[in-house]
Amino acid sequence: MAMEKPVTPTEEQLEILEYNFCKVNKHPDPTTLCLIAAETGLSEEQTLKWFKQRLAEWRKSEGLPSESGSVRD
């Protein structure tokens, strides 16, 4: 099985991803994730990976551990 090449989102894709992260949901459910992936043209796997990395960055910037549960826990 071939490894998926890392994809750097375009500026337009990043705008969509950032908007959804900041304004909609930092923890999108599978349906929302699928819709965001469709809107950006990225795969669901790429979109999920971006959200996980972005969440870790956000948690670090907030002084929270990057791997623990959500703030709502």
pLDDT at res. 65: 75
pLDDT at 69: 57
Are residues 4 and 46 in contact, defined by beta-carbon separation less than 8 angstroms? Answer: yes
- What range does the domain containing 23 cover? 12-59
Q: Is residue 72 part of a domain?
A: no
**What is the total residue count of the chain?**
73
Question: For residue 3, what pLDDT band results from cuts at 50, 70 and 90?
Answer: low
Q: Does pTM surpass 0.85?
A: no
**What's the pLDDT at 63?**
86
Q: Give 11-63 pLDDT, tens digit per residue.
A: 999 999 999 999 988 999 999 999 999 999 999 999 999 999 999 999 888 88
Give me the CATH number covering residue 50.
1.10.10.60
Task: Report helix angle 44-61 to 11-19, nearest 10.
Answer: 60
DSSP 70: -
CA dist 21 and 51 (Å) reads 7
With respect to residue 35, please indicate whether it lies within any of the assigned structural domains: yes
CA distance linking residue 50 with residue 60, whole number of Å = 15
Residues 36, 23: Cα–Cα separation, whole Å: 13
